[in-house]
Amino acid sequence: MSIRVNGINKSYGTTKVLHDISFECANGETLVLLGPSGAGKSSLLRVLNLLETADHGQLHIAHQDFDFYQPLSEQQGLALRRKVGMVFQQYHLWPHMTVLDNLIEAPVKVSGVAKTQAKQQAMEILTTLQLADKADAWPLQLSGGQQQRVAIARALMMKPDVLLFDEPTAALDPEITNQVVKIIRELSGTGITQVVVTHEVDFAKKIASHVLYLEKGRIIEHGTHDAFIHPQTPQFADYLKH
């Protein structure tokens, strides 16, 4: 299994946002996390990348194991993020660096890749994502859709086993959304496991091999793409109508 989550619980103060979350995700799967606002989707995604620490439970991801009953070290988080990429909703590109420098920063500084090798790899990825002509541009010179593709390219530079997306189509127009769909579908063919948080059902249907539906921090339904056609719970069936 690429991801195995067992008994994850998470609270912020007195507010519990994840209740006993357990599921598995196979290699190469594209798992979409769906649910209304406040369902715990982004909190769960951040736990998968150790940006948040769960209160209890175990996590297996990208061949690494974490027990949240034990304190986790900063080194463990860094080691995980070498193999688990994250594409944030707000892109989080460095505005003072060109697109190319945004891409090579982590491989050179974190993984010790030679700069010439990193630049070659970056240009290959930018070409694949139709951004080669933007290599020397500044992030603020790009459209929202272009910034999103740069954020995906930057995550791919670390050659992750798992790629996490937080609302990747938020505020993007339908044409750019279709580009993101195409990218995620192509990545699924490479064997990368992808977990995608979204509230857009149509987008989810286009990319998901599996779906995990949450409400109030609890898993309501977990199934294959067929769940969109034949939901097994009244809650998910009702959500799909919106």
Residue length of the chain = 242
Distance from chain centroid for Cα 27: 14
Query: pLDDT tens for residues 198-222?
Result: 999 999 999 999 999 999 999 999 9
Do the strands 64-67 and 56-61 form a parallel or antiparallel pair, or are they unpaired?
antiparallel
Q: Are 117 and 109 in contact (CB under 8 A)?
A: no
- String of b and e for 120-152 (b: at least 16 CB within 10 Å)? ebbbebbeebebeebbeebbeebeebbbbbbbb
Cα separation, 134 vs 36, in Å, equals: 36
* Mean pLDDT along residues 6-21: 96
Per the CB < 8 A criterion, the answer to whether 215 and 235 are in contact is: yes
d(CA 203, CA 194): 14
CATH topology of domain 28-55+80-240: Rossmann fold (3.40.50)
- Tell me: pLDDT of 6 over 90: yes
pLDDT surpasses 80 at 89: no
pLDDT of residue 171 exceeding 80, the answer is no
Within a 10 A sphere around the Cβ of 242, how many other Cβ atoms?
7
Average pLDDT of the chain to the nearest whole number: 93
Vertex 42: Cα angle to 34 and 57 (nearest 5): 100
Measured CA to CA, the distance from residue 131 to residue 181 in angstroms comes to 16
Q: Where are the domains of the chain?
A: 28-55+80-240
Q: What is the DSSP letter of 70?
A: S
Query: Mean pLDDT across the stretch 65-87?
Result: 89
The token pair at 225 is 């793409």
Q: Which residues of 59-90 are buried (b: 16+ CB within 10 A; e: fewer)?
A: bebbeeebebeeeeeeeeeeebbbebbbbbbe
